[in-house]
Amino acid sequence: MVKSYAAGGAEFRLTIPRLDIERGSKLAFVGESGSGKSTLLELLAMILRPSASGTFVFRPRASGESHDIAAAWQSADPDSMAALRSRHIGYVLQYGGLLPYLTVRENIVLSRQLLHLPQADSAEHWAERLKITAQLGKRPAELSVGQRQRVAIARALAHDPTVLIADEPTAAVDPLNAERIMEVMIGLVEETGVTLIVASHAHSLMRRAGLRMINHRIDAEGGTLLHIKVSDVAD
Amino acid sequence: MSPTDSQLGLILTLAWRDFGHERIMSACFVLSLSAVLLPLLVLFGLKFGIVSTLTSPLKEDPRYRQIQPAGSGRFGPEWFEAMAQRSDVAFIVPRTRAIAGTMRLRGPEGNAGRIISVELIPSGPGDPVLDGLSEPDGLERVVLSLDAADKLGAEAGSRIEGIVSRTWSGKQQTELLPLQVIGVASAGAFARDGMFVSGELLMAVEDFLDGRAVPAFGWEGTADQGTPRQFSGFRLYARELEDVAGLRTGLMEQGIDVRTRLADIELVQGLDRNLSIVFWIIAIVAASGYGLSFGSSVWANIDRKRREFSVLRLTGFRSRGIVWFPIVQAMMTAVLGWVLAAVAFFAVQAGLNSLFAENIGGDQAVCRLLPVHLVIALVLTLLAATVAAALGGVRLARLEPSLALREG
């Protein structure tokens, strides 16, 4: 799979010769910023259209069917991907990405609402696990950065997704907090069995969290063209 | 509910929450919309009020709708029938020759010495000038003009006497007709001494004067020829002021020269037209100016919030649904701006009308809007806001989501 894009006058090319991610695995893409980690995650989240694609198959459940994502992009079928996204993927952004006009509680249950899942005390459950119960009635603007990231993790997990994608989830918080947040997140991931894909530039943090690391290789070609290759075959 | 609908419902809720969350900015949008809408409402209210004030006397006075033959002609029953069928004709009755169109009247008991000569005016069901009175019918029941009633000392219910004379077989013959006054017309209906009579009575008088027999009264004379009666004129009223011009043209094409009050009607209609042109020029300039500024604010707002929109997409909302977000907010702005402008309009209207109350009489208003005008204003405002926001929505749909996600 290839994604080319231009930014700041330079052209980038992200090449993924082969990448298999097994259900239940915990994976970290580690590399410096600008190495295409976010692009890779967005491709995996089916939100970014690949420039060219070989096989791209998403099989969220062992017993379930395989979804041909390459074909969905080909036939311009964004609705089927939106449906897969809402059902199977939880996404944590570097800066929370919470909706400022909703309370913490409403932010957490938004994905459940979209799927018509019962909300019951889902927000309370996740808030308790992430230690943000006192913040449930507040707006995101009233929270610290660390609290916002905890809310973002709660929201990403609230609808019981099969894949949790986190793009630099702790880059905006201080190291001590980062450590704690990672700890809570990994704990929840192991508890729920969700597949975890993280992008981060923090080598040591990822290693301590026990994630399998995949490094990006950046090739400079012709001055402005960057080749970023991700190659990994999971067992 | 299908999943698409419910997604839309959730989008509407979110749009509303965002609108309320940024209430200061939303209030600015609402205020600026009503700031443009209010002067337009006042301007249109003035145009409508002034034109209505000028038009209403024309509308209320049936004489403006009258079409009178300039000379005398020959009109048969088929012609009257055809005219009566036309949708733009409110009322038409035949008129006899002018010479047969007068009668002397003797006043009621107590004032029986008084004799005046009146013009006979053919009337019938639906006569526009006898608005609210019962119409003359048969050979006895008549309506007097106000002047004639005054001179005779007659009122509704009085019994008077008509006097007709002819020279027949070399002798002077005078006949008396017992008449019952069933009503007195208003001053505006007929400005001279006149009597509204049924066609039947009018024809009887004409026959008598022409030396023909009138069996209904037992008057002798030459027998009916059996040929259809020809009339020399007519009383014709158009249904609406707007119908006068068309009727006039139609009659002129038949070679019938007519007199109308078209000049007065066209004066007001011309004023209405010109004021409308002025209004619409101002409205279009103002609306397109506002539309551009509103559209660009929506555009800028989408840029500002594109991260939030990307989050919605990432959560699994379809881009088709997200496009509704700015449109719904634009509609909320439109409705609230319209409400504000309408409330302010009523205040301005009250001020203007009391200011000019002395210049125009009675129940007239210099500034006035009908409920339907306000509804039209709402629909147009909604439409303009939706179009402006939809342009922003197109931008939203094209937004590359991932580029927005990475910014802080």
pLDDT digits (tens, 9 = 90+) for B278-311: 989 998 998 888 888 888 888 888 888 888 888 8
- Mean pLDDT over A110-132 rounds to 86
Residue of chain A nearest B320, judged by CA positions: A79
Residue of chain B nearest A79, judged by CA positions: B318
pLDDT at A78 over 80: no
pLDDT at A191 over 60: yes
DSSP code, position B259: E
Element (H, E) at B331: helix B324-355
Upper half-sphere CA count for residue B405 (Cβ side, 13 Å):
26
pLDDT at B404 over 60: no
Residue A214 in tokens:
């995949």
User: In angstroms, rounded to a whole number, what is the distance separating the alpha carbons of residues A102 and A109?
Assistant: 10
Using 50, 70 and 90 to split pLDDT, how confident is the model at B98? confident
Percent of chain A scored above 70 by pLDDT? 85
Residue B182: its pLDDT value, please?
92
Residue A151: its pLDDT value, please?
93
- Mean pLDDT over A19-34 rounds to 80
pLDDT at A221 over 60: no
Dihedral, CA of residue B112, residue B113, residue B119 and residue B124, to nearest 10: 0
- Of the candidates A48, A95, A110, the beta carbon closest to that of B315 is on A110
User: Domains in chain A, start-ordered, CATH in brackets?
Assistant: 21-49+78-214 (3.40.50.300)
User: In angstroms, rounded to a whole number, what is the distance separating the alpha carbons of residues A155 and A165?
Assistant: 12
State in Å, rounded, how far the first CA of chain B is from the last one.
37
User: In angstroms, rounded to a whole number, what is the distance separating the alpha carbons of residues B223 and A221?
Assistant: 122
pLDDT at B337 over 90: yes
Residues of A with CB below 8 A from B318's CB?
Answer: 78-79, 82
Residue of chain B nearest A139, judged by CA positions: B21
* Contact assessment for residue B369 and residue B345, using Cβ atoms and an 8 Å cutoff: yes
The number of beta carbons lying within 10 Å of the beta carbon of residue B169 is: 8
Nearest-Cα distance to chain A for B371, in Å, is 36
Residue of chain B nearest A97, judged by CA positions: B311
Range picked from A147-156, B263-272, B297-306 for highest mean pLDDT: A147-156
Give the tens place of pLDDT for each residue, B189-236. 888 899 999 988 988 888 888 888 888 888 888 877 777 788 889 999
Global pTM value: 0.72
B17 touches chain A (CB under 8 A): yes
Nearest CA-CA partner of B195 in B142, B150, B130: B142
Residue B173 in tokens:
């013959």
Residues of B with CB below 8 A from A38's CB?
Answer: 402, 405-406
Nearest CA-CA partner of A198 in A40, A29, A43: A29
Residue A148 in tokens:
């916002």
Residue B334: its pLDDT value, please?
93
Residues of B with CB below 8 A from A199's CB?
Answer: none
Nearest-Cα distance to chain B for A211, in Å, is 23
Residue A142: its pLDDT value, please?
92
- Mean pLDDT over A10-31 rounds to 79
Kindly report the average pLDDT of chain B as a whole number: 86
Nearest-Cα distance to chain A for B328, in Å, is 16
B405 touches chain A (CB under 8 A): yes
pLDDT at B3 over 60: no
